[in-house]
Each structure stands twice: as structure tokens, then as C-alpha cells.
Structure 1
Amino acid sequence: MIQDAETKDVLTLAYMNETSLVKTLETGETWFYSRSRQELWHKGGTSGNTQTVKSIVWDCDKDALLVLVDKQGPACHKGTDSCFHEKIIGEEQTPSTSKENILLTLETLIADREKERPDGAYTTYLFEEGVDKILKKVGEEASEVIIAAKNRDAEELKWEVADLFYHVLVLLREQELPLEEVLGVLVERHNR
């Protein structure tokens, strides 16, 4: 199974034989074996939508691999981010905007906005104003969370906490501190 290293979205399920696994390990990009064509294929070899391997782990029986990758472009030959996009049953929800992944998705969007600085975007405004403006917004949003909680206004509280999370993510980006490191601290505390 191939999974996005950052978002943990499942990208595709593909077969590897010994030769394709060796090629993957040698090149650092995913290689698979097509059982229907009976040949090796390099993911992105023709499309340019390559996958850089970040880690590979066995399952407990050592008969399946989980490959975490950084992808360049769509993972699916149909042009979608994941081969798993046709809903059979369940809620309509794309993997990258699931509740479990939204903070990582938002972190990526904020990073893109910092680089591209699109005109009229609020995130662009915050980065152009600098750390003092970002800190002021974090403080304002934290105060609004306190007020909403004190007023026992659950509807207002959820909106204010969402605003606070967003502004904290902007601050983390400005400080060049990845969210993954903050989440790592929470995992470490939880495991104690």
C-alpha cells in the first residue's frame, strides 16, 4: 500500500516483486511490477508524477509493505490524488480534508500561501505584516476563546478555537516550526 507521508492519505495499492523492491530501494522512488503486462514500471516514469520514498515497513506476516511517500502530482492514472476516490458507501469526504488530517492540510496550504503570496489573501497579509501582527492575532483569538468559553457559548467557542488554530499554524510557519514537531511532543506526553 502506498500512503502519503505527510497527510497519511492512502494513494494506491500496487504489487511489488523482489526486483521492483530492489529498484525502489536503489532509486528512492517507487517501482512496481505489473502482473497483467508482466513488466516493471516506474511510478511517474512517463507522467512525471513520481513518488519519493520516505519509509517502508513490513506487516507482521512480512507479506505486505506500507510505503510512505512524498508525491509529485496525482497518484492515480485518472488524474486524482488517490486511486481511492469512488465512493461506495459512507460520508462524502475527501481524504485530505478529513477531520484527522485537516491541520496538516491547512499547514500545507499556509506554507503555499507564504511562498506564493497571492494578492488579497488574508494569509498573505499576515506574512507581509510580520511576526508582531501574527502574535497580536494569536492573542486576540485566544482572548475570544476565553470569552466564548466563559459565556458557555458552544457555537461561538468552536468558531473561535478554529480561528485560534489557524493563527497558531501561521505563527508556526513564520517561526519555521513544523506542526509535526508539536504533534510529536503530544505523542511523547501521551506515551509516558
Structure 2
Amino acid sequence: MRSTLVINIITALSFGVLGAFLGDGYKNPLYFYWLIVLFVYVIIVDVLYRAKEDLDKQLSEAKDQITALTITKNEKSDSVIQCSFYPRITNGTLESEKIIQIDVQVNSPIPLTSAPEIKLITDKEWNVLCQHQSFIPRKYAGRFEYFLDKPLLQCIDNKHFKYSFDVKFSTPDTYHFKMVLDNGEVQHQINNSFKISQRVS
């Protein structure tokens, strides 16, 4: 950058000096003022040109970031974040009329600006709790939607998150569910089911 500036100044001054000598301009005191103006002009033009190059570079980097974010949002969810849904059990079975703690762990290869929120969608009504408070479902298209606003969130950093909440079932059955995690940047969903057995007295 500095070498280019020096070359530009020398070139401009060379033309000015050459023109002055050819026309005896060096004998006129105004000639030196003209050289100073020319010198300042060359510096200003060079500075403006460098500033434009820096702005173009920043714009290009910003476009690349936007493109990367767009690709991230449009990729398949499995390739963006990983998530596990883990029911805690003590005797090897999931039983009715018992509170079952669910742990959800989320790992992201890219830093997230905020923790994903959980939406639990079930085909049957569940009793979903967090710190002994029940979540009221919204019934939509014959299914039940539970919006869990960061239940017992443990955030190690902006790439690793852990959630915990409780579920309870009144009757033995096979319960299907879909869990969606979304923070506006990335989205991930799990489709699965588990079987609830009759409680053993």
C-alpha cells in the first residue's frame, strides 16, 4: 500500500516538474504552490481509493457471512445441531403414574446467539411439568403442542445446552411425539415414541 502511494506521488510530481521545466514554469513562484496542491491532491485521491477498497472488502466479508447464515438455515437440521432426548428411569421401564424426568442435550458446531426454545408436539395429551408447574397444551390439528420456554436450562457456552423437564402419563400406552428446537437461526426436530407400562405396585 505504501509503495503504491509513493509511486503515485512520484509519477504525478514527475509530470508536474517535467511540464514546468519544458515551459519554464519553475521561474514562477506559483509553480511551487501548484506542486504542493498536486502533492496533496495525489495523497487525498490515494487515501480515498484505499478507503473504497477497505469498504469493498468489508462488504464482501459481510456478504459471505450472510451467505453462510442462509446456507446454515436451509441445511438439513441434522447437519446443523445435534440433540438427544433422554428419559431418566430407575428400574429399566417407563411406568404410568410416575414422574419421569426428561433430559434434552443440544450440541451445535457453530456458536448460537441464543438458546433454542422447545416445542413438544404429541398425538395424545401428556402431563408436562417443570418445577412442579404444568404446561397447558394448545390443541392444533388434532395434536397437542407444548411450548417449553427454556425449562431448567443449563448453558455451558453458546454451543452446548441442557434442558430438563418432567412428564407423567395416567395410562399405559405407546406415546408418539415430535420435539422441535428453534431459536430463529437453526431448527432441529426429533420424531420418536416410547412405551409406558403399567405401574407395578
> Which TM-score bucket, shorter chain as reference?
under 0.3
Report the TM-score when normalising by structure 2: 0.21
CA radius of gyration, larger in = 2
Structure of greater relative contact order (alpha carbons < 8 Å, 6+ residues apart): 2
Higher strand share: 2
Higher helix share: 1
